[in-house]
Chains A and B, each alone.
Chain A
Amino acid sequence: MQNHTGPDTPNGEIAARQAMMKVLALAARADIEAAFATLGSLPEFTPMRAPETGLVMLRAQAGGQGAPFNLGEVTVSRAVTECATGHIGYSFLLGRDTRKAQTAAKIDALWQNPSFRNQIEARILAPLRAKQQAADQLAARQTEATKVDFFTLVRGED
């Protein structure tokens, strides 16, 4: 398990991996699979844990910053897979899509491998990120268009 990203991993590396995981979490399964299919020949993968769907309890805080409470649950799917190169890929994603979780775990394993990272970045993450940013920006502009522009009527009574 020498390739395992554990607590000793440098912070920059963890942040980059979190950013990669977030891109996959927000992407649609079809988009991930289409991008994954362009990778060409890959090492073998062996599932280390059967993909599984479970519940995670969401925490919130009263007033957004006060006493913590349990808001309710959300479905989460997880997968752990071992790449023939020894890298272990994890994925935890909202929803019940275990197939998406399996592909995301494979991508996580490949991303940890320096000889694959650039390819993962260019072929999978960059296009997914661009699509998400475009969607977020569109939504933000549509929201912004509903912002109230107050103006005051001057009645001219002096």
Chain B
Amino acid sequence: MYVAVKGGEKAIKNAHQLLADRRRGKRDVPEISADQIREQLSLAVDRVMSEGSLYDRDLAALAIKQARGDLIEAIFLIRAYRATLPRLGYTQALSTATMQVERRISAIFKDLPGGQVLGPTFDYTHRLIDFKLAAEQEIASGVEAQAQPGAPMPKVASLLGEEGLIETASAADGEGDPTEMADITREPLSFPCGRDLRLQSLARADEGFLLALAYSTQRGYGRTHPFVGEIRVGAVDVEFFVEELGFEVPLGRLQVTECEMVNQFVGTDTLAPQFSTGYGLVFGHCERKAMSVALVERALRAEEFGETVQAPAQDAEFVLSHCDNVQAMGFVEHLKLPHYVDFQSELQLVRQLRKDFAARPAQGAEKASVK
């Protein structure tokens, strides 16, 4: 029997009012603005953009404010918002080689064209709480170099590629036809899947999930012998072909983080051994995420390189089906919604089982009755 249950409207309304109240916190503390979040909690904003799969800093900052700093809730808000907007088209492929670099490091070559540029990094900090930050203070702006910047910064992979030491990708590897390219926002996941769908899914995947999987490959669950070939963070130009105008319109610039992992050799009867790669590209400055994507991406290429698929990080169906935190939170958190009726049937069943158990014949007789 199904019983429609109504009521709770008033409680829900008041709960949301209370949520707004608690979100605001103590009124003698100034309210935080979305601008402040965008400028001063920028890495949280970048994570929300990246996993929300929508590049819009102001929107991500507002979502963080609305979600009281719960980043997965904020990501959910971003995903819901994007569903309300029309799709105007596709951009030209972003060129990370011509990025306006604000950070670029390589762990495989000390001296490389363009050099090691640290940019704004937590690396080499002592991870000690800075109590001076508790008080407002003037912060000096970044030191300016005397030397004229602008030395070209070729991709590190291209340096190895010149000698054929690393697998080189070309655009011909994938179908260039936009209608053929996988798009997880249009088609649900299906397996086996190509590198296009994998890279899109990983770009919006949960950082924590990918970090743990990446770590598992380092600990031996699908080892790939990785080195950071290059990490670069910076601004790339976005261009959009407008049919009515007949040319590419520059839309602006956006920040991305790119990581290329260089992994141990592969070779075949016809191909001399060369390094293989894992690739990670994400919105904003999300370095840990980009590295994790690159590590997991390489692990997921196990089958392509004839490696035995035995670890979770190598299993595309496992990784890609569980990496989306909006899907994951939806299914996990739905358990807290009313399941009164489902549970009634469980209750009935367990009562029946207990009745049967109590009414069971004596032990010796029971053995005889087993069929």
Contacts and interface: CB of A to CB of B under 8 A. Distances in A.
Contacts of A78: 88
B91 A59 contact: yes
A57 B169 contact: no
A148 B171 contact: no
A55 B86 contact: yes
A25 interface: yes
Given A64-B258, A95-B56, A71 B117 contact: no
A102 to B, nearest CB: 16
Interface residues of B, number: 87
Contact of B250 (A5, A18, A142): A18
Q: Could you say which interface size class chain A belongs to?
A: 35 or more
Of B50, B85, B150, B182, which is in contact with the most chain A CB atoms at under 10 Å from its CB? Answer: B85
A146 B117 contact: yes
Given A55-B86, A67-B195, A96 B59 contact: yes
A80 B56 CA distance: 22
Given A7-B246, A54-B87, A145-B144, A69 B199 contact: yes
Given A70-B196, A71-B200, A90 B242 contact: yes
B54 A75 contact: yes
B183 A70 contact: yes
B107 to A, nearest CB: 12
Interface in A20-74: 21-22, 25-26, 52-74
A6 interface: yes
B349 to A, nearest CB: 46
Interface string B147-169: 10110000101000000000011
B240 A76 contact: yes
Interface in A84-139: 90, 92-96, 136-139
Given A26-B252, A63-B260, A68-B176, A54 B149 contact: no
B171 A61 contact: yes
Given A25-B250, A67-B171, A143 B149 contact: yes
B117 A57 contact: no
A81 to B, nearest CB: 13
Given A65-B97, A75-B55, A57 B183 contact: yes
Contacts of B245: 5-6, 90
Given A70-B181, A76-B251, A62 B88 contact: no
22 contacts: A6-B246, A25-B250, A25-B253, A55-B87, A56-B251, A57-B87, A61-B169, A61-B174, A62-B174, A62-B199, A64-B97, A64-B157, A71-B283, A72-B283, A73-B54, A74-B56, A93-B251, A94-B252, A142-B144, A143-B101, A143-B119, A146-B103
Interface of B: 50, 53-56, 58-59, 82, 85-97, 100-103, 110-111, 115-120, 141-145, 147, 149-150, 155, 157, 168-171, 173-176, 178, 181-185, 194-197, 199-200, 203-204, 237-238, 240, 242, 244-254, 256, 258, 260, 277, 279, 281, 283
Given A72-B50, A137-B149, A144-B149, 11 more contacts: A6-B246, A52-B86, A70-B182, A71-B94, A71-B203, A72-B203, A73-B53, A74-B55, A74-B238, A147-B118, A150-B111
